[in-house]
C-alpha cells in the first residue's frame, strides 16, 4: 500500500464522521438523487407495453390456477366421494 492511500482513506473517514448523523443523512439523500438522475426511465409506449404484458400474464395465471383448482376438486370428489 502506498503511503498516500492510507492517508486518503483516513481523511475520507474523518470527513464522514465529522459530518455527524445529519450530515450522513444529507449525504445519503444527495447520493440517492444523483443515482436517480442516472436511471433510464421507460418511455410512455414502453410503459404501456409492459403494463399490458403484466396484466395479460396475471390473467393467464389466474385462469390456469382456476382450471387446476377445478380439476383437482373434481378428482378429489371422484376419489373420496362427495
Residues 10 and 21 in one domain: yes
Q: What is the pLDDT of residues 15-63, one digit of tens each?
A: 555 679 999 999 999 999 999 999 999 999 999 999 999 999 999 999 9
DSSP code of residue 56: H
Are residues 72 and 48 part of one domain? yes
35 with 3, same domain?
yes
Residue 49 CA to residue 55 CA, distance in Å, equals: 10
Cβ neighbourhood burial of 1 (10 Å; 0-12, 13-18, 19+) = exposed
pTM: 0.57
Total structural domains within the chain: 2
Same domain for 3 and 19, yes or no, is yes
Instruction: Say how many residues make up the chain.
Output: 82
Structural domain range at position 53? 42-82
Residues 6+ apart with CB under 8 A from 42: 50
What's the CA gap between 7 and 29, in Å, rounded? 27
C-alpha grid cell, residue 13: 473517514
Amino acid at each position: 500500500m502506498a503511503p498516500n492511500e492510507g492517508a486518503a482513506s483516513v481523511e475520507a473517514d474523518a470527513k464522514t464522521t465529522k459530518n455527524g448523523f445529519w450530515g450522513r443523512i444529507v449525504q445519503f439523500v444527495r447520493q440517492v438523487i444523483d443515482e436517480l438522475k442516472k436511471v433510464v426511465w421507460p418511455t410512455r409506449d414502453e410503459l404501456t407495453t409492459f403494463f399490458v404484458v403484466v396484466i395479460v400474464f396475471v390473467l393467464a395465471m389466474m385462469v390456469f390456477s382456476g382450471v387446476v383448482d377445478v380439476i383437482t376438486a373434481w378428482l378429489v370428489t371422484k376419489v373420496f366421494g362427495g
